Chain A
């Protein structure tokens, strides 16, 4: 399928349009709320919560016996919240560290969920098939109603984020200060956690329990590289998330046998990789270039200072010297010498060099200006 056909299908085909819209909205909300998780150093909370949601889905089905996705997701929400608050209980009330608490809740809840799912499968009433779509997600099962729910949740969380913008921002960057200002930090904290859990739960159907955490993390981690402003970061993260959703859906639609969830996660990972490498401020490539430039400049100045030390012993500073005597100085190369000439700090004449008055002055000021 080529690109033109894809767009034609996107406009005409109900399923593809729904899935694309759904994953885009999901990516946006995950990016937005994931920014908070990443900045609060709770990146892996998403992973734990998404796993912890599984027993809720199974229990909701066991209790109600209906396979309506809204009921199941309500169960997921409840057990996700229990997981999230248990993690906090473990870390605050015992000496177990947060990584252990996350790992415990993640694996234990998931195991319990698996036990319940396998138990359900053995039950006589046969409409239990399809519960395991929550493991890996099946974007193909999205219907317009699901997309509407996602849109509504996104709108609510957007309103909440805007409403509590100041409080969220304060809590993110200085929790103690927030407390001294008299804000109810526990309430704000719970509010953020609640919305993170909500975002995870509505994503379960699309990307599944296992990969949900990446949806939350990757767009935010990518956006973090491009800016130091919270508002810009959240906007960018939502954008990256939405694009990961759209591109991921497009790629998986054009190929056979590619499930949507993993493709979306990989697209988001590509965003992260690209941001790590090429973001202008923090990216590894530019950082390395900057590092090289600084080092070269330092060596240039070291060479100049070495020359200055030779020159200042002579009465006439522009007295020529052989290039050879620079040989035992490791900062010196032909290229650096030429650069010094270009800057008009040194005159090169055959195998002899002489420092210019300008270069002499520059070298004199090299170490004095900083002290």
Chain B
């Protein structure tokens, strides 16, 4: 590995961490799309900042662009408050307009601005090591490393200082204002941090991929844990992993680094989406199927309990009366007889003692609808336990 390669991976990892932390809170607060809005609407801020400073990583430009981001948030909230349109429409109206202004500003001044809309959207990590930060003649490393490093440090400091406040205001707005932490301050604090992070990161990964780095690790982690600290740690881990593996994928394919990082993020999310232990798609589908069978079983037992006449309890009758398909009725029958709940004599089904007591419990729950009965039922229910 050459020095620039290490530097690129370092920058990518720092960007990933800096994005993942505010991303967790955005996802939890159901404001993930605000990051998309901010990342687009900082464009005019960046262009104007560039007119003034002619330097993409100057602090003034970052400040101006972040300010544009916060203005976007304020504007979106203002439109939402008028009640003229639904909340998400407000986001969708503001950011394309801001972005268009940015694009036109660049197009009109193409001769003065050595800036390309593609570059703003996509960024180019591969060039990051060429922009060096000189201090008194000594080379201090790539400029963007410093920019994103400082942003990350500030983010981390704020996270540790206000962790409790952030946590409370994220999960219980009412409690947090009752305790005296202003949710408004937390909200705008988070928005400002997100804006600054997006601006600092866009240079490296571009405006849209920064959204991926914010939302995706947090969403992936959210599928695996409900613990805030674990969620932050996991999303940082996912971010760094995709940053580094994405770099090598890009190296191998000779394609855009930012694009490859997103592809890795996508792969990670897809894996977790499918295979997460209790919240993944497969687990959810499996659980739904099991619950469907359990409900069918209960219906079946209740039916048996209600009828003493033989004709109602004949196996073939099941298909007509409860209107199940053959396969399903066979599954339910086998399940019930395996658990000694029914006896089958000459194609006629009858409840055993165990089946009767179980059905009585279920009835109790259905009639009273009290939680303690279902707890009892769950304990008895072989399937719930499994």
Q: Are A136 and B216 in contact (CB under 8 A)?
A: no
State A114–B121 Cα separation when bound (angstroms). 10
B35 at the A/B interface (Cβ < 8 Å)? yes
Report, nearest first, the 7 A-B pairs whose CB atoms are least far apart. A111-B262, A115-B259, A214-B96, A107-B212, A262-B100, A114-B259, A118-B256
**Contact among B31, B92, B209, B216 for A213, CB-based, below 8 A:** B92
Say yes or no: A211 contacts B219, CB within 8 Å. no
Contacting residues, chain B, for A262 (C-beta < 8 A):
99-101, 103-104, 107
Name the residue on B nearest A94 (C-beta).
Answer: B279
CA distance A112 to B122 in the complex (A): 12
CA distance A111 to B223 in the complex (A): 21
Using a CB-CB cutoff of 8 Å, which residues 87-125 of chain B contact chain A?
88-89, 91-93, 96-97, 99-101, 103-104, 107-108, 110, 117-118, 121-122
Beta-carbon contact of A122 and B254 below 8 Å: yes
Q: Which residues of A (102-138) have their CB < 8 Å from a CB of B? A: 102-104, 106-119, 122, 132, 135-136
Would A96 and B259 count as touching, CB distance under 8 A?
A: no
* A114 touching B122, Cβ below 8 Å: yes
Kindly state whether residue B82 has any CB partner on chain A within 8 Å: yes
A103 to B35 alpha-carbon distance, docked (Å): 9
Inside 8 A of A113's CB, which chain B residues have their CB? Answer: 259
12 further interface pairs, Cβ-Cβ under 8 Å (given A47-B36, A104-B269, A221-B93): A44-B88, A90-B273, A94-B281, A103-B215, A104-B215, A107-B208, A112-B262, A114-B258, A116-B259, A135-B118, A262-B103, A269-B97
Neighbour of B266 across the interface among A42, A108, A261, A282, CB < 8 A = A108
Complex: chain B residue closest to A100, CB-CB: B32
B351 interfacial contact with A, CB 8 Å = no
Given contacts A94-B223, A107-B216, A112-B262, contact A210 B97 (CB under 8 A): no
Which positions in A face B, CB cutoff 8 Å? 38, 41-44, 46-47, 51, 89-90, 93-97, 99-100, 102-104, 106-119, 122, 132, 135-136, 210-211, 213-214, 217-218, 221, 224-225, 257-259, 261-263, 265-266, 269, 272, 276, 282, 284
Digit string of B204-235 for contact with A (CB within 8 Å is 1, else 0)? 00001101101110110011000000000000
Q: Establish whether residues B92 and A44, one from each chain, have CB atoms under 8 Å apart when the complex forms.
A: yes
Q: B262 contacts which chain A residues (CB < 8 A)?
A: 107-108, 110-112, 114-115
Cβ-defined contact, A111 with B265, below 8 A: yes
Nearest to B104 among chain A residues (CB) is A262
**Closest residue to B40 on the A side, CB-wise?**
A210
How far, in whole Å, are A94 and B284 apart by their CA atoms in the complex?
8
Residue of B nearest to A259 (CB): B107
Min C-beta distance of A175 to chain B, whole Å = 16
Please name the residue on chain A nearest to B249 by beta carbon: A115
Please name all residues of chain B whose beta carbon is closer than 8 Å to the beta carbon of A51 when the two chains form the complex.
208
By a CB distance below 8 angstroms, the chain B residues around A217 are: 89, 92-93, 96
| Cα distance, A38 to B91, chains bound together (Å) | 12
Inter-chain contact A119/B253, CB cutoff 8 Å: yes
Q: Which residue of chain B lies nearest to A265 when distances are taken between CB atoms in the complex? A: B100
Task: Give Cα A108 to B265, complex, Å.
Answer: 7
- Among A104, A109, A211, A282, which residue has its beta carbon within 8 angstroms of that of B99? A211
Q: Which residues of chain B come closer than 8 Å to A117, judged between CB atoms?
A: 256, 259
From A93, A116, A135, give the contact of B285 (CB < 8 A).
A93
Instruction: Note all chain A residues with C-beta closer than 8 A to B222.
Output: 95-96, 100
Given contact pairs A114-B122, A259-B107, A99 touches B33 in the complex (Cβ within 8 A): yes
With contacts A107-B216, A108-B262 taken as known, whether A99 is within 8 angstroms of B31 at the C-beta atoms is: yes
List the B side residues contacting A89 at CB < 8 Å.
281
Q: Can you list 23 residue pairs at the A/B interface with Cβ under 8 Å?
A: A38-B86, A44-B88, A47-B92, A51-B208, A93-B284, A94-B284, A99-B30, A100-B222, A107-B212, A107-B216, A110-B262, A111-B261, A114-B258, A115-B263, A117-B256, A210-B96, A210-B208, A214-B92, A258-B104, A262-B104, A266-B97, A266-B101, A282-B84
Which residue of A103, A104, A112, A213 contacts B259 across the interface (Cβ within 8 Å)? A112
Task: Across the interface, name the chain B residue whose C-beta is closest to A266.
Answer: B100
Rounded to whole angstroms, the CA-CA distance of A265 and B93 in the bound complex is 10
Contact B117 A136 (CB under 8 A): yes
Asked whether A136 and B93 contact (CB < 8 A) given A107-B216, A118-B256, the answer is no
User: B179 near A: Cβ within 8 Å?
Assistant: no
A90 to B216, CA, bound (A): 13
- Given A108, A114, A122, A221, which contacts B85 in the complex, CB threshold below 8 Å? A221
The residue among A44, A90, A225, A258 with the most chain B CB atoms within 10 A of its own CB is A44
Q: Which of B96, B107, B214 contacts A211 (CB 8 A)?
A: B96
What is the chain A residue whose CB lies nearest that of B94?
Answer: A269
